Structure 1
């Protein structure tokens, strides 16, 4: 009922032809720098002419003209691509039959704008993470990392603008970074943006739009859901615990993503998937790539082509929750987050990057073990991926070791797993590798796979050798870290020399 009321109020406010910028244009904001042109839009009197001027040091350096469209009562301009820096002021003037009106925004910078979205692990604030006091104390040292947070709103129809804002564009402070539990501002988003600033040394704009306990279906447009054979109606799925937020298809896409489409972006980071361990789990290898592709098309179109059609999209692979595990739903979601490749970028998920987090379990988190407090390592791993994928840093290793070749020595009962990069073996583990002992004939008869541990025997700089007792002539599959809680905190057995963990995998048709 509240969402419907908000929708009515939002539509009514645009109908009044009040001359204004759209909701997320304000003092202190960051606009996307070149090579993109920043999109600026707002509302006005139908048919009125709009002039948008950009000034620095009281000198006008750019003017753009627009006209308010009939029906939507919206106007939009695309600024010429600008180098990073500032501060600038921006004035919008309306010329119509009425008295001329003008609006001015100040302390505007050009830099890179990143959208941060997902569920509660994205929504966790800096005050909830480890070393929170230190992180909050240092917040004012980064005045050129600017923050914005959308409110928790859902809608049955696509909204043109945000109905409500929790945190208007702001300079970071201890107060707005640690406002409250699972409120503004996102720790992962902040730490990621801060790391980007330390690398790039120019302004970073961070836009948070996240809601705890929400499945991917709520963040997906009807188009994306239909690609995966899911209904786009208001069907609800009652699920325990992990789904505590809105789960109706598209309601968060409609209210918290669609209004942002005109914004020129550098990229997106995403932390979501826990809710889908109890809802459409084995469709996630479709719904997640479909969401990425759909968001890319929509932001590219909404920004008049200024947001790149394959803009960088980073995500966090799920951490841990329970032990002993009750099922393999977390392992399956981790696999499906990569479209069943095990690594990114890949053919189905180009220009993406991933932070592996299965080794960051936090059994004693006061917010529940589903909410690990080490968001610094999450953000660091995302930052490495962004530098390599989004910023083109050549030769930068941003993901842990992944198998390049697996050879089965049936006569000796051994399996050699050869990785594509140097490995660092922290310790031997007797149960983290498993083999399927069901013969191929039984698999084709749809009998369940019998997974048994394959203990680690030895290791070299690139290869781990496993034993396979009882499976000498019937090994058909191999998997690694296929558990909800596969290892202790930062103690999985296999890392690379940069201490990035090897991601989980499952391989078929071994020879």
Structure 2
């Protein structure tokens, strides 16, 4: 009932000047803690003054006054930076009217976005009953979900809400299939809370089956040579569809820009394995840069300009497929560096998921049920990149160089971490061969592993030797079985796929 009421209220507020908080300010919410100041905004009578009071145990600890702007009828203020904790009451007064939000906490606020693997609920994942039973043990991990809405124009506020800020329960986290609340978002927040030991606020804004173009602003699309209405669908009468460029940016991200955030996590890309795949090495970095700039500006500079941004590299799909679209997309997710952070994607972190395949998932193999490992790997990246935790290993091994032993016909690949060899994987490594480089087409042939030392893998390419033009690893839709890729580090993190194009 509360969610339905908020939906109607949000819709009504688009056209009216009803005195109210913006749609995503409700009881039980988490506001961003120090050193940033939390932004609070809403609607009121144009020209009126709105007084905000923050109180704890009946004692007012802060007051702010904001003017309602004309003609928008909106007011906004930045609270003084607050230490983590609560509960607080937040009251807004306009003339004789007042509104009070209860049970407010200060902590870190993370936005979770993407497509269906982000939308999957706890009810759908492995060990669901265990996770649901444990939900009540985390009352300071609060959850909020925007509803899937599209728009041809940028909206000021959310038009629809699926879940107002809530204290987690089994019923909320197990609401249904591909609805709300996100299992990955929840598990990430739970792991983060266990490390931080202070409140964490999780905001889900995701929609199944959507391409990155739909989540991108026109600015970001233009940076990659795409027009605003470029998308899967045409002609223009279909521009309200969720696959079309910018419609989800307009309705599900733009309304959140005033929110002060600590970071973002993202699980998206499956749709782009079939749409503009080889543009993803531009569209993804462009989206990250654009969202950072937009959240920084929208929050009056309170959200950091290098907002930490974590993402999940695509999991397995189609075991026997000869296609390499998922492999290419995984590579492009890293802006063709193979790892994150990197020079084109600073302040980012990545969870490798290619070893978590789930061929028998009732939701299709494209939707693996092991979200716990994904969230754990993602939260390690957050602790290292967003929180600066020193000495924490959050990435798998990555090659630093590859050299050819011409006399023996072998290739030695040196890695930056100590290696664990789990599976031989005859086709895990492949070399690109050509007798007349670079004119002849590339022929990828297996390069079986013959030895693994502390930091080195020795390969024996089949009939290529010194003529190898390139080397790649785990370059397949389904590169390995569950938790059984070829190489890991001592912390159990898989080596990510890579592609070396230059002559070895």
Answer yes or no: same fold by TM over 0.5: yes
Alpha-carbon displacement from aligned partner over 1:22-81 (angstroms, at most 9, x marks no partner):
000000000000000000000000000010000001000000011000021100000000
Structure 1 range deviating more: 214-223 or 464-473: 464-473
Alpha-carbon displacement from aligned partner over 1:281-317 (angstroms, at most 9, x marks no partner):
0000000000000000000000000000001000000
Is 1:365 paired with 2:365?
Answer: no
Corresponding position of 2:421: 425
Q: 1:199 to 1:11 in 2, by over 3 A?
A: closer
Alpha-carbon displacement from aligned partner over 1:208-247 (angstroms, at most 9, x marks no partner):
0000000000000000000000110265438xxxxxx721
Corresponding position of 2:237: none
8 Å Cα contact 2:157/2:255 also seen in 1: yes
Please, what TM-score do these two structures have when normalized by structure 1?
0.94
Corresponding position of 1:81: 81
Is 1:490 paired with 2:478?
Answer: no
What stretches of structure 2 of length at least 5 have no aligned partner? Answer: 1-6, 235-240
Corresponding position of 1:309: 305
State how far apart, in whole Å, the 2-side matches of 1:177 and 1:114 are.
Answer: 17
Corresponding position of 1:466: 459
State how far apart, in whole Å, the 2-side matches of 1:58 and 1:320 are.
Answer: 53
State how far apart, in whole Å, the 1-side matches of 2:231 and 2:414 are.
Answer: 46
**Matched residue of 1:71: which SS?**
coil
State how far apart, in whole Å, the 1-side matches of 2:378 and 2:231 are.
Answer: 34
Corresponding position of 1:242: none
Structure 1 range deviating more: 227-236 or 184-193: 227-236
Corresponding position of 1:40: 40
8 Å Cα contact 1:407/1:510 also seen in 2: no
Corresponding position of 2:337: 341
Q: 1:47 to 1:15 in 2, by over 3 A?
A: farther
State how far apart, in whole Å, the 2-side matches of 1:312 and 1:376 are.
Answer: 21
State how far apart, in whole Å, the 1-side matches of 2:100 and 2:8 are.
Answer: 28
Alpha-carbon displacement from aligned partner over 1:464-505 (angstroms, at most 9, x marks no partner):
100023112311100000000000000001000000000000
Corresponding position of 1:476: 469
Is 1:384 paired with 2:380?
Answer: yes
RMSD: 1.5
Listed as ranges, the matches of 1:142-157 within 5 Å are: 142-157=138-153
8 Å Cα contact 1:55/1:89 also seen in 2: yes
State how far apart, in whole Å, the 2-side matches of 1:178 and 1:9 are.
Answer: 25
Corresponding position of 1:396: 392
Choose from 206, 225, 247 the match for 2:202.
206
The alpha carbon displacement at 1:427 in A equals 2.5
The alpha carbon displacement at 1:396 in A equals 0.7
State how far apart, in whole Å, the 1-side matches of 2:20 and 2:377 are.
Answer: 40
8 Å Cα contact 1:14/1:43 also seen in 2: no
Structure 1 range deviating more: 257-266 or 419-428: 419-428
The alpha carbon displacement at 1:433 in A equals 0.2
The alpha carbon displacement at 1:14 in A equals 3.7
Corresponding position of 1:4: none
State how far apart, in whole Å, the 1-side matches of 2:488 and 2:322 are.
Answer: 26
Q: 1:398 to 1:179 in 2, by over 3 A?
A: same
Please, what TM-score do these two structures have when normalized by structure 2?
0.96
Corresponding position of 2:173: 177
8 Å Cα contact 2:146/2:162 also seen in 1: yes
Is 1:450 paired with 2:443?
Answer: yes
